[in-house]
Chains A and B, each alone.
Chain A
Amino acid sequence: MSDALLSLKGVNTHIGRYHILHGVDFEVPRGAVSMLLGRNGAGKTTTLRTIMGLWRASAGQIMFDGEDITRLSTPEIAQRGIAYVPESMGIFADLTVRENMLLAARKGTIDDTRLGWIFKLFPAMRRFWSLPAGQLSGGQKQMLAVSRAIIEPRKLLLIDEPSKGLAPAIIANMISAFAELKQTETTILLVEQNFNFARQLGDSVAVMDDGRIVHGGAMAALAADASLQQQLLGLSLSAHQ
């Protein structure tokens, strides 16, 4: 029996009259970091949004922790223990950092020990605690978006392009933070375009193209195979180093 926390079987998604996902099949192993890679427009973001119920799957099945969540509403899916960090980060700019975190803490209070751990991970969050989130820099907003997702233990984190638009120094530190998060055995599904970022964090990888999964396997295998990278992603790892 597979130890997949999340599995997608033949998932199709239509947005209006456009058919975006064409039978997506893949699994996210429990306690691992899985990377979803692919070119622009391959369907990665649509996949995450379909998992979250933000776009409805027109066919196929999404199983999470043994339960069929395909027809559940977004709040019900979130309540099952899935946290989502969208590409736009989704922070509430008019709310303070504290209010953003408080909103994500569904219990209504923030656990002090957990908050201390987050402050250790992202010290900027302590410093800007009372500042409206709209006044943070791009990197700090991304830290807030991730902090908000982990303010309470979640079974699965869905994170869409956390390195997008960030300075290299911030990306390097974000990788460190995710590496630490990985030590807690949180299951993470990360969408990335930055292959170097993906290579350093991923245990497994799925590559999408034209709304389909065209490759799945261990990240180490893809990282070691420049020709496969070239074939799947149109680049080689050396281009990203």
Chain B
Amino acid sequence: MSVTAQIDETAPPPKPRIDMLPLAIIPVLALVAIPLVGNLPGWINLTVAGLAMGMMIFIMASGLTLVFGLMDVLNFGHGAFISVGAYVAATVLVPMAGLTQSDSFLMNLVALLPAIAAAMLISGGLGLAFERVIVRPVYGQHLKQILVTMGGLVVAEQAIRAIWGPEQLNVPRPTSLRGAFLFGDVAIEKYRVFAVVVGGLVFFAMMLVLNRTKIGLLIRAGVENSEMVESLGYRIRRLFIGVFAVGSALAGLGGAMWGLYQETVTAATGAQMMVLIFIVIIIGGLGSVGGCFIGALLVGLVANYVGFLAPKLALGSNILLMVIILLWRPRGLYPVANR
């Protein structure tokens, strides 16, 4: 016998419901900004700048949202990985001035790739140590997590000052990523296009891993209900350590990219970015990578549009954005089920 009650076998299977509304906010916001900005070249410039900023924030924030989702860990020390990533990239790039100043994109890439790889490796390694020494003793204790991880951030900042010195460090941007693409009156900074491409690739890769691999399936399930994943026979702790390391490495990548964007970095860069990162993961829905992506793009666009239209409001614009979104959707744009 089978459980058939209330099931019409002949009816077609229902279609999955996809919530498109949060996705629509980005084009709507961009369209609303056109008349407010007043000129098309300026609008295109601001929009690309906003998207580039959003992509870099997404790269920095994506790991943190998964770390929170999987193990309920509030890691205020995440900013340390961002700063370290930027410093390591600068350290690798500075001695390769010959390559970074070359007009050849290939030569620039020869300098850039090891710099980014080193930033990710060192940040990822630091993340592993951070998890082992600082986070592991305070699992499940939010207040202690905040205190201890903030302490970790302070220690990391001081360590950076001890290693690289107290002054800000210049991050040499390769020649190919300087200047702008010109389309009539429109000038689009090359580096912003590069950031959008890298951010897009990171997002695509993450979605591929999360949706097409067993590890990704486990991460998505673990974010929803880690206890049940353990009850199915999987060691969520190992998964978490892996996610923590990858998240730290991504923060390092984001830091390196942010450093190249600003062409300078200080020990406090990571801590300064944390406000925006927390806004992004709260807007997106804690633990949601898709939500984090949309949230980061929104934050980037709002920061740039408001910075142009009402510079005095720029500082508070993203807090206001968070308030509006949370009033509309208290659990964020794409909340993870069961959280």
Render A4-41 as a binary contact track against B, CB cut-off 8 A, 1 for contact: 00000000000000000000000000000000000000
**Within 8 Å CB of B20, what residues of A?**
none
Bound-state Cα–Cα, A73 to B231, Å: 10
B232 touches A104 (CB 8 A): yes
Main SS at interface, chain B? loop
Q: Is the C-beta of A153 less than 8 angstroms from some C-beta in chain B?
A: no
Contact of A180 among B1, B11, B336, B338 (CB under 8 A): B1
Chain A, interface size category, equals: 35 or more
B14 touches A75 (CB 8 A): no
- Distance of A174 from chain B, by nearest CB (Å): 6
Known contacts: A135-B14, A176-B1, A176-B2. The answer to whether A94 contacts B232 by CB under 8 A is no
Q: Is the C-beta of A78 less than 8 angstroms from some C-beta in chain B?
A: yes
B2 touches A122 (CB 8 A): yes
Interface Cβ pair total, 8 Å cutoff? 115
**Within 8 Å CB of A179, what residues of B?**
1
**Within 8 Å CB of A177, what residues of B?**
1-3
Bound-state Cα–Cα, A121 to B1, Å: 7
**Within 8 Å CB of B7, what residues of A?**
123-124, 127
Q: List 13 A–B pairs whose Cβ atoms lie within 8 Å, in order of A's numbering.
A: A90-B225, A92-B224, A94-B224, A102-B214, A103-B221, A103-B232, A106-B233, A108-B214, A124-B3, A139-B5, A139-B6, A148-B232, A170-B3
Interchain residue pairs A-B with the least CB separation, the first 8: A93-B337, A78-B233, A90-B228, A173-B3, A176-B1, A74-B230, A169-B5, A92-B221
B residues adjacent to A (C-beta < 8 A): 1-7, 9, 11, 13-14, 16-17, 214, 217-218, 220-221, 224-225, 227-236, 336-338
Given contact pairs A131-B16, A135-B14, enumerate 10 new A-B contacts (beta carbons under 8 Å). Answer: A54-B227, A75-B230, A78-B231, A106-B233, A108-B214, A127-B11, A131-B13, A167-B6, A169-B5, A176-B2
